[in-house]
Structure 1
Amino acid sequence: MEWIILVIVGIAASSLGSLIGMGGGIIVVPALLYLATLPTFSHLSPQVVVGTSLFTMIFTGLSSTLAYMKHKTIDYKSGFIFLIGSGPGSILGAWVTEKMDLHSFNIYFGLFILFISLVLVVKEKLKPLPYRKDKGVVLTFTDNSGTTFEYGYNPIIGVLIAFIVGLLSGVFGIGGGSLMVPTMILLFFFPPHVATATSMFMILPTSILSSITHISLGNVNWLYALALIPGAWIGAKVGVFLNTKFKSKTIVFILRAILIIVGVRLIYQGIAG
């Protein structure tokens, strides 16, 4: 029964995660935290939840990246630039997790994703931050409808933000997409489809680095990871397919709704527990 539950969680989490560029951790982590309140899964600690989630996201990231490569929506140049910061940050974040207990982890994680949802809610009211074309990276992307987007950023700022994203990824086991996607959309003017695909591309190496640290700390439940991986691989393919079919506004709306629901639930669990 445990394996069936975890396979279902893996498919659902990876489908949603790949669709919105989060890697599935934003669903896997709260799902495992909820299961930890049940007798069968009571041995799960926040550290093991995060470590196991990050390990399974290696396969979500790989599956999604291979699929997005076919659709040619990955911005490789930006992805490698951001990885300069997110790589070291993810390793540091994995060590920070060791200091948290279950209740404080739930509250901090819930507040974090509610903050992200708030950023997306007010997105329509925010004016794009200006960027100097002669001082940063300027790129263009033409979507399936023939619409061309121009976006860009300062590489130094991009690396610094990516470091923070990597740090939070290692702490919460979410792959970093929950922060990197809205950052790319709001600050760097990325089209949502490109932000999502590039985020999934970044999740692969970031998850590997974080997982190595968590494995060394003994924070991976291998049996649960093996149950989650098949679902993560299948779900990633489903998410990529849906991403190519939905409009950009639809993806952002789904992202906001999921974050608000999960964030409120986690804060409630942390306080009530």
Structure 2
Amino acid sequence: MDLGFIISGFLVGMLVGVTGVGGGSLMTPLLVFLFGFKPVVAVGTDLLFAAITKTGGVFVHHGNHKSVEWRIVGLLAAGSLPAAVATLFVLNHFARIGKETSGIITFTLGIALILTALALIFRTYLQKAGKSSEEHQPGRFHHLQAPATVLTGLMLGVLVTMSSVGAGALGTVALLFLYPRLPTLKVVGTDLAHAIPLTAIGGFGHWQLGHVDFTLLGSLLVGSLPGIWIGSHLSAKIPEKVLRPVLAGVLMLIGFKFVL
């Protein structure tokens, strides 16, 4: 195992514990820019990394807090899982005909990071907008919640499979807007539960395409698990209103770096 990867896993895990932002938006750019991994390998390895680390979180949310709305998880999965499989088939087709996919994955990664940064910036505003709409016209949009949730899942399925980014920040913001009456704890637990099958399918598919570095994966896990634990304890001491805009700015810059 490489000490640099372990330290990187620890630092990203700590930031995830403090901010709640998914590791993909932090880990994948780090692997590409700092360690020089190909974007496809960074994405594939990070997807399996996310599936493993998020599993422990769901046990806590479902077992201790009962904070997973399984109906919403099912609606999201109805869109995201078929979309993930279809995306993997497309990537596999391109690989078989010898067409390079790094360019499109890099561009998608950049777009996902920019969207994540925007989600961090406007999260509170979107949550308030959803609550305001619900208060002024209660029940008016309830018939649209299910199809909108499936559509959200579909978009996340493509984005996460292509970039490993979006299952955390984007999924959470979408749920806060679609289900304004749902407590934040249940939004987080529900989004986390949905992310596990999505990242697992995406990670397994990339593994079959040869895009997973298992030595790297093991090193990241060794570092990240204590990092998440420490970050979770530090989160109460660091003002979110200070850290969130800084993190959003960094992700925005990295996103434009990938796109341009």
Common fold: TM-score over 0.5:
yes
Query: Is the 2:44–2:211 Cα contact (8 Å) retained in structure 1?
Result: yes
- Quick check: 1:110–1:262 contact (8 Å CA) kept in 2? no
CA distance in 1, matches of 2:225, 2:213: 18
Which residue does the alignment assign to 2:169?
Answer: 178
Measure how far apart 1:15 and its partner are: 3.7
Structure (1/2) with the larger helix percentage? 2
Q: Which residue matches 2:97?
A: none
What is the percent sequence identity of the aligned residues?
19
Distance in 2 between residues matched to 1:114 and 1:254, nearest whole Å: 17
1:53 is aligned to 46
Residue 69 (structure 2) pairs with residue 78 (structure 1)? no
1:166 pairs with 2:165: no
Which residue identity is paired with 2:113? I
- Give, in whole Å, the separation in 1 of the partners of 2:9 and 2:109: 20
Change (3 A) 1:100 1:163: same
Q: 1:154 aligns with which of 108, 126, 145?
A: 145
Pairwise CA distance, 1:231:
2.7
CA distance in 2, matches of 1:157, 1:177: 18
Counterpart-to-counterpart distance in 2, 1:14 and 1:213: 24
**Which has a greater percent of strand?**
1
Q: Which residue of 2 aligns with 1:87?
A: 81
1:35 has 2:26 as partner: no
Name which of structure 1's ranges 199-208 and 234-243 shifts more when overlaid on structure 2.
234-243
CA distance in 2, matches of 1:49, 1:158: 28
Gaps of 5+ in 1: 38-43, 138-152
Give 1:78 shift: 1.8
1:206 to 198, 203, 222: 198
Partners of 1:17 and 1:208 in 2: how far apart?
A: 19
Count of residues paired in the alignment: 245
List runs of 5+ in structure 2 lacking aligned partners: 95-99
The reply on whether 1:101 has 2:80 as its aligned counterpart is no
Deviations 1:84-130 (A, max 9, x none): 2222222334455665435x644542333223333443455553244
Does 2:254 correspond to 1:265? yes
Cα distance in 2 for partners of 1:159, 1:105 equals: 24
Structure 1 111/266 Cα, relative in aligned 2: closer, same or farther at 3 Å? Answer: same
Judged with a 3 Å threshold, the aligned counterparts in structure 2 of structure 1 residues 16 and 210 are, in CA distance, closer, same or farther, namely same
Deviation of 1:263 (Å) = 2.5
Q: TM-score, normalised by structure 2?
A: 0.78
Selected match of 1:221 from 199, 213, 233: 213
Q: In structure 2, do the counterparts of structure 1 residues 92 and 22 end up closer, same or farther at CA, with 3 Å as the change threshold?
A: farther
Secondary structure in 2 aligned to 1:26? helix
The one-letter code matched in structure 1 to 2:169 is S
- Deviations along 1:135-156, one digit per CA (max 9) or x if unpaired, are 748xxxxxxxxxxxxxxx7222
Distance 1:85 1:116, change over 3 A: same
1:36-66 CA deviation, whole Å, 9 max, x = no partner? 44xxxxxx21111100001111211112112
- 1:194 counterpart residue number: 186
Q: Counterpart in 1 of 2:118?
A: 118
Secondary structure of the residue that 1:154 maps to in structure 2? helix
C-alpha deviation, 1:32, in angstroms: 0.3
Provide the C-alpha distance between the structure 1 equivalents of 2:88 and 2:114, rounded to a whole number of angstroms.
Answer: 22
1:146 equivalent in structure 2: none
Deviations 1:134-178 (A, max 9, x none): 8748xxxxxxxxxxxxxxx72221111111112100010126113
